[in-house]
Amino acid sequence: MPMVDVGVVIVHWNEPERCAETVRSFRDQGVPIRLLVIDNGSTLHNLAKLRSLCPDLDIKELGGNIGFGPGANRGLVEMLQGTPATHIALAPHDALPAEGCLAQLCAALTVRPQAGAVCAEYGRGSMQKYSWARSISLPLSPAHTPGWNDALFPHGTLTLFRRSCLEQVGVLDERYFAYLEECDWGFRAKAHHWEIGIIGGAVVRNPSRSAASPVVVYLNLRNSLLLVRDHSGVIPAIIRSVVIAFNTVILWFRPQSRQTTRSTAVRFRALRDFWFGRFGAPPADLFASG
């Protein structure tokens, strides 16, 4: 495989031990990298802990939690403006690429000139589906075949972008804050005729994925409507909103089916905020548990 210049952007928030493990995993990939950690407003204690675990780490402090997408953009832009990196990887602080993963992703971009981005396979095989009625769905499927598998969009656990594709398509849409911004980016890339693939055999683990919370429920629902409106139109977004409202009323009478105890109120709030154009960070009170 020809030598490539790879930038790696890791977005971190208050998990120094996990981030340090992720840093070690990337440094052990056997690929020359320039690694940058974007700290999304961690506490002083956790920042100090991360620096003690990785004393030579390049950390850009944002001073507040501006969201995964906006934080990722700060790193992507710095790589684009400050380095000659031909490929740029993006991962959260708890992504653990298996041995050889990054080299396989680099090789896939090298041999496929029209590939704008590739991602590692995560866990069990899953099919990527999109419709305006359901937005994004990921039904289980057989394991990915070795090598290239066509994808609608890259996933957020580990994506490797081609520099020229990022320069043409742009970075992530910051209205999303977190969740589904990679889907929007993938649709925009495909509109510019770039290919996107999942590379079977290039494996990444994400052992600390969290369960649903009010914030996750809110962002997924609000952002799914944004995705549908931007890529399918206003009428599909209206119809989907009516269906969501109807299902939310049903959930009111079926508490055992709710993702969290606050699901019904959170869902109605997400609907309202979408139609009032309130994007970016979710309401602060949703960060309370429940």
Question: Across residues 79-84, what is the average pLDDT?
Answer: 95
In this model, does residue 83 exceed pLDDT 90? Answer: yes
Q: Do 57 and 131 belong to one domain? A: yes
* pLDDT of 249: 86
The string of DSSP letters for 90-131 reads EEETT-EEPTTHHHHHHHHHHH-TTEEEEEEEESS-B--EEE
In this model, does residue 125 exceed pLDDT 80? Answer: no
pLDDT band at 262, cuts 50/70/90? low
Of 16-30, 178-192, 200-214, 252-266, minimum mean pLDDT range: 252-266
Q: Do 160 and 261 belong to one domain? A: no
Question: Across residues 166-195, what is the average pLDDT?
Answer: 97
Print the domain residue range for 89: 6-205
In this model, does residue 217 exceed pLDDT 50? Answer: yes
Q: Do 192 and 248 belong to one domain? A: no
Last residue of a domain, one of 205, 237, 256: 205
* pLDDT of 207: 74
Per the domain annotation, does 45 fall within a domain? yes
pLDDT band at 212, cuts 50/70/90? low
Interatomic CA distance for residues 239 and 209, integer angstroms: 31
What lies within 8 Å, CB to CB, of 180 at 6+ separation is: 135, 136, 219, 220, 223, 224, 226, 227
Question: Across residues 123-129, what is the average pLDDT?
Answer: 74
Cα distances (angstroms) measured from residue 8 to each of 55, 236, 287: 17, 37, 29
Question: Tokens standing for 21?
Answer: 């493990």
In this model, does residue 112 exceed pLDDT 80? Answer: yes
* pLDDT of 260: 56
Per the domain annotation, does 172 fall within a domain? yes
Q: 78 or 261, which is more confident?
A: 78
Per the domain annotation, does 91 fall within a domain? yes
Domain containing residue 123: CATH number: 3.90.550.60
Per the domain annotation, does 77 fall within a domain? yes
pLDDT band at 253, cuts 50/70/90? low
Q: Do 132 and 98 belong to one domain? A: yes
* Residue in the structure block whose two tokens are 């990444």: 204
Per the domain annotation, does 93 fall within a domain? yes
Per the domain annotation, does 128 fall within a domain? yes
In this model, does residue 259 exceed pLDDT 50? Answer: yes
Question: Across residues 14-28, what is the average pLDDT?
Answer: 97
Question: Across residues 260-266, what is the average pLDDT?
Answer: 74
In this model, does residue 120 exceed pLDDT 80? Answer: yes
**Count of structural domains, the chain:** 2
Question: Are 35 and 10 within 8 A, CB to CB?
Answer: yes
- Backbone dihedral angles phi then psi of residue 93, each to the nearest 5 degrees: -70, -5
Q: Do 194 and 219 belong to one domain? A: no
Q: 97 or 249, which is more confident?
A: 97
Determine the 3-state secondary structure of 136 from DSSP: strand
* pLDDT of 251: 72
What lies within 8 Å, CB to CB, of 232 at 6+ separation is: 132
* Confidence (pTM): 0.92
Last residue of a domain, one of 205, 227, 255: 205
Instruction: Report which residue type is found at 7.
Output: G
* pLDDT of 2: 47
Q: Do 38 and 180 belong to one domain? A: yes
pLDDT band at 1, cuts 50/70/90? very low
Per the domain annotation, does 1 fall within a domain? no
In this model, does residue 209 exceed pLDDT 70? Answer: no
* pLDDT of 225: 97
Q: Do 12 and 138 belong to one domain? A: yes
Angle between helical axes of 181-191 and 214-232 (0-180°, round to 10): 20
Last residue of a domain, one of 172, 205, 238: 205
Q: Do 190 and 130 belong to one domain? A: yes
Please provide the average confidence, as pLDDT, over all residues in the chain.
91
Q: Do 119 and 258 belong to one domain? A: no
Q: Do 78 and 197 belong to one domain? A: yes
In this model, does residue 257 exceed pLDDT 70? Answer: no
* pLDDT of 18: 96
What lies within 8 Å, CB to CB, of 128 at 6+ separation is: 136, 138, 151, 152, 153
Question: Are 162 and 86 within 8 A, CB to CB?
Answer: yes
Q: Do 260 and 195 belong to one domain? A: no
Per the domain annotation, does 238 fall within a domain? yes
Q: Do 236 and 178 belong to one domain? A: no
